[in-house]
Structure 1
Amino acid sequence: MLSKKLSNRRHLSIQIPEEFGKSLLNQTVRPQGFSSFKRNIGYYISIITLAFHPHIHRNAEHPMTDFETFLNLIKCALGTGCLAMPRAYCNAGWLVGLISTIVISSFVVYAMHVLLNDINDLCKRYRIALLNYSETMQLAVLCGPYWMQPMSRPFGYMVDLFLCVYHFGVDCVYVVFIAKNLKHLGDMYFISLDIRLYMALLTLPLILTFLIRDLKYLVPFAIISNILIIVCFGIVLSYMLGNLPSLQQRHASQSLTQYPLFFGTVLFAIESVGVILALQRNMITPQNYLGPFGVLNRAMILVIIFYTLFGFMGYWRYGDNTASSILNNLPLNERLPQCAIVMFALGIFFSYALQGYVTMDIIWRYYMEPQLKENATRSLEYLVRIALVVASVLVAIGYPDFGLLLAFVGSFCLAQLGLIYPGIVHLCVRYEEGYGICKFKLFRSLLFIIVGLFGGIAGSIASVKALTEQYASLM
């Protein structure tokens, strides 16, 4: 094992020769000696790195093909965030929105590439078959400046915390979204009920989907969801493209005070850190995930193009009247928009388990299961899954504002998971070997951290302020 500073999770085992493992254990408990030790065995590590390919040593229980991974990537990206993109353009202006969507989305995907490459580099360097995000953070900090090494475990816990909060928040947003759309139709064809009752009625169906334990078995849900959502988007676009006003009637830019809400919405829409990392770990050929024409790039290029055009066309069509969900701008008394609402609600319903997989994986596999006896694990796991669904419904009932909740979750969690933490990992992983010509890698890491800090703080403050004002007006 590497060090007592790393949590004793079952699959974290660094297979280097015993004499070096003992030496490393002794050195890492004295932070100043860790860097010196690494320099002394640098040559040896470089040799075993060449001979070790972590992808070969990964044994996923139910691995996925490249196409199945591609479908899940599209599914986790094409969610409720897309429906909020036109409103995001309303906060930024159409020109600023176009440029910013492409820049922010590409920047975040690039940060994910850097993070995934750092994970693979650490796996090769220390002969580890598999590292998750929090373990990567802990090991990277131990490779960094000596004064940071005592903080390795707290950093790892923070990663797990924000991953759980983010993906749990996504599920809360999904509950709100499904309930609001069901209420629209229920009020038309049945009796008018409180939206909170619709949320409560969703609990049992969501529990049934969330009891599915493996990503492999969620692929059919992803296929159904993708088909429904694509058809729905086709219907929405048919309304967007009709009766377009002059583009001069729309603002090319808006006040900077509204831009943080745009930033948070784009982050929420485009990013799904935990799912992106989990999918690579569960692939048959994880080496095909990265690269210029890898599975990740192919999926995200399509998503970015679609998000950019969808947000632009929605704002062009509806202007300042754009709703937090573009579905609310459609003529809901017509049958076609009603069909779109049903299809999108079903599509998001089938996406709930995919987003919740990350939260459950962290809580159960890395914190609860190692402490339990074998014969007690399965039944208790199902109870935990049920509890998470109930908790997401209760949070949704308490905070039912869709647009602002979405922006807050995106700003608060994703700025850290998608930008700040990848910057810290990269800063530490490259600490010993240097940062390249003109310290490019150092400045790249600092750029990730700075953009994440400013965007996350500004977006969170703006979202909380808007939520506070809204609830104050209701009192």
Structure 2
Amino acid sequence: MSQDNLGFSASLDCIDQKKQPSSNGSSSRNGKDGVYTVELQSKKKYVEELEGTYDPYQNREVEHPTTFWETLFHLLKGSLGTGILAMPKAFAHAGFAIGVVGTAVIGFLCTYCIHLLIRSEYELCKRRKIPSLTYPTTAIEALRDGPRCLRPCAKISGTVINSFLLIYQLGTCCVYTVFIATNLKSAFDSFLKEDIDVRLYMLVLLLPLIFINWIRNLKSLAPLSTIANGITFASFGVILYFLFRNAPSIEGKSPVGKVADFPLYFGTVLFALEAIGVIMPLENEMNDPKSFAKPAGVLNIGMVSIIVLYIGMGFFGYLTYGDDVQGSITLSLGNEPAAKVVQILLAIAIFFTHALQCYVAIDIFWNGYLLPKMADSGKKTIIWEYVVRTGLVLITFLLAVVIPELELFISLFGALCLSALGIAFPAIIHICAFWETSTPMERGILVAKNMSLVLFGLLGLVVGTYTSLEQIITKFSK
């Protein structure tokens, strides 16, 4: 049991010792205004007494806190990556009608599940009297307070979530490397006499990717994130010109796609919409974390903006280019100079975003596992941190070289990791975090509501992963 849990349990014991039960299961104590009756069966009352006026947000000490707008820019940049450019292909899989409705529904579910996760973290921090928790530690502490059948899984839950986060973040960085190299190749091919292999472009990118991932805090990444956002929105303006210079038409476009391709659509949309890996680091690093989950806070403003942009890009991109649209719409724009400029600009923007995505993987691997073991060893940890940062970039580079298929791996990583991380796990955590403080009726509602999310997430994980892997095997067996 952790020190936090020991303190929590000790406090409960102290309350029990101060209260002598009567024959009817209650006890009395003299207060300033008279006699108060406390039901021993009411754990909710105990929790309220333990929490007191402690506010985790007021007790956070962040070395490099980010402002509201810096956090919003980080969230937008973390979501407005290669995923939005793959949305027209996703709509080609689902059909334009299913694409619009499905993206709105999935976007709402993703946002709702993030709120569940943030709410659970705040409740557990307040209960434990600690300033913040990461995603894995939130799961551990939640399961320790959850139903008795789940409590033995508490310790392993952190490792499971960290594994999914590592796979997703490194997979995302791999996809980014492929995207940058593919777009640079498309942009420069028309100016070069020889056809250069996309892997050579990846090799040229290796050192710049290593150097940008040596930036060690989010505060220093904020200017790069702002520049990337500016480049991205400017590029989207040019893409919109290509989409609307001729009026898009639904003629020949399917409102409903093939059912067999729906899992590919689902995985791509999840990959595009979910920024679950950066959500808690962003919230924990804010100078005013209360503004993150407010109705008009960072999360809702960011996610609504993202959903609208994704639906628009997917819908009009599919109507313009039809079923022939490629995995990234930038590769379907043609050979005009403006198209080449967009490809280069977006390659630069995604290059900056690589560092933000890799930040989470580095935080998990270095701060979560290696640094605690090296703290007392007397070694120069700063040197080893740079070694780890370089090593993780090399891993994503090698994956990109071996597997340079953009569309299929976007769908795979979305279905495999984000169905669990973005939907199923937050729902389970929410059940456990509020289990002890809920009445039997509240527990029934809590379980029914959240288990429907868990089942939906697991269905997407199994079907989406299977379909993506089948497509990948078919592609490489040709």
| TM-score of the superposed pair, with normalisation by structure 1 | 0.91
Q: Name which of 465, 469, 476 aligns with 1:464.
A: 469
Q: Distance in 1 between matches of 2:380 and 2:14?
A: 38
Q: What does residue 345 of structure 2 align with?
A: 343
Q: What does residue 195 of structure 2 align with?
A: 192
Residue 455 in structure 1 maps to residue 460 in structure 2: yes
Residue 47 in structure 1 maps to residue 49 in structure 2: yes
Give the Å deviation of 1:249.
1.9
Tell me if structure 1 keeps the 8 A contact 2:12–2:46: no
Q: Name which of 382, 403, 418 aligns with 1:399.
A: 403
Q: Name which of 371, 388, 393 aligns with 2:392.
A: 388
Q: Name which of 230, 235, 258 aligns with 1:232.
A: 235
- What are the equivalent positions in structure 2 for 1:215-294 lying under 5 Å apart? 215-294=218-297
Q: Name which of 112, 122, 135 aligns with 1:110.
A: 112
Q: Distance in 1 between matches of 2:408 and 2:9?
A: 53
Q: Distance in 2 between matches of 1:212 and 1:119?
A: 28
> Cα gap change, 1:39/1:275 in structure 2, threshold over 3 Å: closer, same or farther?
farther
- What are the equivalent positions in structure 2 for 1:150-165 lying under 5 Å apart? 150-165=152-167
Structure 1 unaligned regions, length at least 5: 5-11, 25-37
Tell me if structure 1 keeps the 8 A contact 2:209–2:393: yes
Q: Name which of 322, 328, 331 aligns with 2:325.
A: 322
Q: Distance in 2 between matches of 1:252 and 1:41?
A: 53
Q: What does residue 353 of structure 1 align with?
A: 355
Amino acid at match of 1:195: V
Q: What does residue 301 of structure 1 align with?
A: 304
Structure 2 unaligned regions, length at least 5: 16-39
- What are the equivalent positions in structure 2 for 1:403-442 lying under 5 Å apart? 403-434=407-438, 439-442=444-447
Tell me if structure 2 keeps the 8 A contact 1:94–1:253: yes
> Cα gap change, 1:357/1:438 in structure 2, threshold over 3 Å: closer, same or farther?
closer
Give the Å deviation of 1:62.
0.4
Q: What does residue 130 of structure 1 align with?
A: 132
Tell me if structure 2 keeps the 8 A contact 1:63–1:284: yes
Q: Distance in 1 between matches of 2:171 and 2:54?
A: 38
Q: Distance in 1 between matches of 2:229 and 2:378?
A: 37
Q: Please give the secondary structure, in 1, of the residue aligned with 2:277.
A: helix
Q: What does residue 214 of structure 1 align with?
A: 217
Tell me if structure 1 keeps the 8 A contact 2:268–2:411: yes
> Cα gap change, 1:438/1:282 in structure 2, threshold over 3 Å: closer, same or farther?
closer
> Cα gap change, 1:47/1:22 in structure 2, threshold over 3 Å: closer, same or farther?
closer
> Cα gap change, 1:135/1:254 in structure 2, threshold over 3 Å: closer, same or farther?
same
Q: Distance in 1 between matches of 2:434 and 2:391?
A: 41
Q: Please give the secondary structure, in 2, of the residue aligned with 1:259.
A: helix
Tell me if structure 2 keeps the 8 A contact 1:14–1:127: no
Tell me if structure 1 keeps the 8 A contact 2:186–2:331: no
Q: Distance in 1 between matches of 2:360 and 2:222?
A: 15
Q: What does residue 380 of structure 2 align with?
A: 376
Give the Å deviation of 1:17.
7.0
Q: What does residue 31 of structure 1 align with?
A: none
Amino acid at match of 1:350: F
Q: What does residue 70 of structure 2 align with?
A: 68
Give the Å deviation of 1:16.
4.2
Q: Distance in 2 between matches of 1:240 and 1:439?
A: 49
Q: What does residue 28 of structure 2 align with?
A: none
Q: Please give the secondary structure, in 1, of the residue aligned with 2:190.
A: helix
Cα deviation, 1:72-121, whole Å, max 9, x if unaligned, reads 01110110000100000000000000000000011111100011101101
Equivalent pairs: percent with the same residue?
A: 35
Q: Distance in 1 between matches of 2:141 and 2:41?
A: 16
Count how many residue pairs are aligned between Structure 1 and Structure 2. 450
| TM-score of the superposed pair, with normalisation by structure 2 | 0.91
Q: Distance in 2 between matches of 1:346 and 1:20?
A: 54
> Cα gap change, 1:54/1:205 in structure 2, threshold over 3 Å: closer, same or farther?
same
Rg comparison, structure with higher value? 2
Give the Å deviation of 1:279.
0.2
Amino acid at match of 2:239: V
Q: Name which of 59, 69, 81 aligns with 1:79.
A: 81
Cα deviation, 1:120-157, whole Å, max 9, x if unaligned, reads 01111121211111111111111112122111111110
Amino acid at match of 1:412: L
> Cα gap change, 1:56/1:23 in structure 2, threshold over 3 Å: closer, same or farther?
same
Give the Å deviation of 1:423.
1.4
Q: Distance in 2 between matches of 1:13 and 1:182?
A: 51
Q: Distance in 1 between matches of 2:107 and 2:452?
A: 15
> Cα gap change, 1:18/1:267 in structure 2, threshold over 3 Å: closer, same or farther?
closer
> Cα gap change, 1:94/1:358 in structure 2, threshold over 3 Å: closer, same or farther?
same
Cα deviation, 1:239-277, whole Å, max 9, x if unaligned, reads 111223531321000121110100000000010112011
Please give the root-mean-square deviation of Cα atoms over the aligned residues, in Å: 1.9
Q: Please give the secondary structure, in 2, of the residue aligned with 1:283.
A: coil
Give the Å deviation of 1:18.
8.5
Q: Please give the secondary structure, in 2, of the residue aligned with 1:292.
A: coil
Tell me if structure 2 keeps the 8 A contact 1:267–1:414: yes
- What are the equivalent positions in structure 2 for 1:84-95 lying under 5 Å apart? 84-95=86-97
Q: What does residue 24 of structure 2 align with?
A: none
> Cα gap change, 1:133/1:22 in structure 2, threshold over 3 Å: closer, same or farther?
farther
Q: What does residue 32 of structure 2 align with?
A: none
Q: Distance in 2 between matches of 1:254 and 1:359?
A: 36
Q: Name which of 180, 183, 187 aligns with 1:181.
A: 183
> Cα gap change, 1:147/1:184 in structure 2, threshold over 3 Å: closer, same or farther?
same
Q: Distance in 2 between matches of 1:107 and 1:374?
A: 47
- What are the equivalent positions in structure 2 for 1:24-35 lying under 5 Å apart? none
Q: Distance in 2 between matches of 1:421 and 1:206?
A: 31
